[in-house]
Chain A
């Protein structure tokens, strides 16, 4: 029996327009962005979680397969897998992870749009807004 993931894709992708347009500005180390100095994988995972949390997903347009799945930590991989396990209420979805990541791409597509709009609206206060939202989620439980 193996601890290896089953049929895990080599890469995941997201909107190429976003990569050319926003990604560089967001991750620029000199910027005041909350993502300064972070990677595409960090942003993908963040966006996927936001999209899933809002239950918003869409087909990825102009897709660029740029994020190797190998760069995700095990915790992040299991975060992505949890979305499918919980929806199917069945661990058997783990037998083929490719469709799970394909769904994650769709959530990330919408998640990025949501983050972009929040970041534009909140400006430098975005971390404060994000923290408040996270505290609210935790308090609800």
Chain B
């Protein structure tokens, strides 16, 4: 579905006291809205207001602050008398293809009789949307489903972007979630529903067996047990995946806290740790690639070494034949045999008597003539093979050196990581840091364990699927032996054929989607990037892990500049919109903060055109919104679509006002 934000209403949300409304008029070509605010004035909290309203949590906030500060405006809470209540509320009004939507989330709080402040742990969410010509208000479990259909949680980072956290866009940990979300927005769910329908139809059909046998009952029971086991495995996989996702989110928060905790030494060490972890990932991948290259070489050369003796003997035989003059053959055997058979030479003389006898004797020595040329090819090949074998020891030694060098570097990095952990535990505010470090270790362990469990369950599920297929074939064979069940067998075969077709179609659609998103991302990236000659392409694998190929052949995803990351993120997001057909507004906090001048110019002149028809809301600092940027964007901003955030004198409350 396509949607744009027509208005946001915020009430008592963090530093925004009372009710404030921001309208966003939208035009296909004048698609940009600007909100200017100094650092700390509340730009990020406006983005938080949106994610909180949609998904119930703030993704763009400081971990520590999140723990301390209530979402409800603190002045509004302080002004309450005992037993009085108040609330923070964010309402987002949307324009969609099918009419207006309204999403509202509220959190209550107040003062108890003793004056102690309390915050209701639960938020209330309501979604009003047009249905059957009327506005329908949803407040139950379906609200989250509705919002996820509008913009899946796992894709939100590509639409509600934090310019300061660009590097997290293509983190491998979240790649899988992206893949799952793309399937959701691409309506693959319809296929799954169809498959579910046919699976239950199959179950029903099996109940209609006219004449059962002990064998049929036995197989049926086995099928039932397998199906139940598969269901339980699927549940376990989904549960563990959800749990992994949550742990990844918390791990990210812990890392963010350490990176921005205000203690210089900790921040430095955490940043160093992050780059070492990235380097380890990179080295690990290169080490793995080198090991695979060595393995491929071993498997290719090994058979020739095993066959060295017969090859040597064959070559000697060929060389002996050559020395004797049998190779290459001078006369073809068939020519001589034809001459004897016809009894006449091309010159007209008859072949008979002594001549014929001599030729017959000679023909016996010409057995090799028919294979002469091919044998000579063989001789050359055998020489090449020996040349390859002679390099074996040398090549293997080089492989060992290269692999060892990767392992040494990895070991060095791992040791440094251990040192960093020790140093972090010794520094300032060590109690707190130790707690975060402990949590970090725990989360890494949990994630490892959960991923292992998912891997094991997936393996068992795959195995169970194979056995189930065999059991079904066995069952159908047994079913066919009874005349009364023949009709049922035909129906079952049809259902099974349909299920197979659906499964194959699903694979084809997924592959097609991935390919289209890859091609689209690549073409967008190559169009927008400044250093066009430096990159050869973008690869998105079946797990939605993104690789950016440098001309040198290396994957440079971990080494892109902030501007290049921004462009990659935008290219991917645009590809998602093109392929899946849904269109959401793009909101970027501090889009130009870390971007160099050239990319800044490119983004502000080309992005609004590139995203024509897509609403683009930019939260910028006055420094980012300099004269050049203002001039570049002026043609894309509608009158009245530029706001600024004013702070009160104490700088603890903010108001969004029109920037005239």
Contact = CB atoms under 8 A, between A and B. Distances in A.
Interface in B350-381: 367-375, 377-378, 381
Nearest to B384: A75
A49 B307 contact: yes
A71 to B, nearest CB: 14
A141 B302 CA distance: 16
B294 A91 contact: no
Contacts of B292: 36-37
Given A3-B374, A82-B382, A131 B306 contact: no
Contacts of A91: 314, 317-318, 321, 368, 371, 375
A133 to B, nearest CB: 8
Interface residues of B, number: 46
Given A46-B303, A75-B381, A127-B298, A82 B311 contact: yes
B299 interface: yes
Contacts of A81: 314, 378
A98 to B, nearest CB: 14
B504 interface: no
Interface of B: 291-292, 294-296, 298-311, 313-314, 317-318, 321, 328-329, 332, 367-375, 377-378, 381-382, 384-385, 389, 392-393, 396
Contacts, number: 131
Given A53-B306, A78-B382, A131-B298, 16 more contacts: A1-B369, A2-B373, A6-B370, A34-B295, A36-B292, A37-B292, A46-B302, A52-B307, A53-B307, A75-B381, A83-B307, A86-B309, A86-B317, A89-B313, A89-B317, A91-B318
Nearest to A95: B371
Contact of A94 (B304, B375, B396): B375
Contact of B371 (A78, A79, A92): A92
Nearest to B374: A3
A82 B298 contact: no
Interface of B (DSSP majority class):
helix
A1 B332 CA distance: 8
A6 B300 CA distance: 25
A22 to B, nearest CB: 14
A128 B321 CA distance: 40
Nearest to B332: A1
Interface of A (DSSP majority class):
helix
Looking at B313, B329, B371, which has the most chain A CB atoms within 10 Å of its CB?
B371
A75 B385 contact: yes
A94 B307 CA distance: 17
Closest 9 CB pairs of A and B: A49-B303, A86-B310, A86-B313, A49-B306, A53-B306, A85-B314, A82-B310, A78-B381, A82-B314
Contact of B385 (A53, A79, A90, A134): A79
Given A75-B385, A91-B321, A91-B368, A134 B305 contact: yes
B313 A85 contact: yes
Interface in A34-69: 34-38, 42, 45-46, 48-50, 52-53
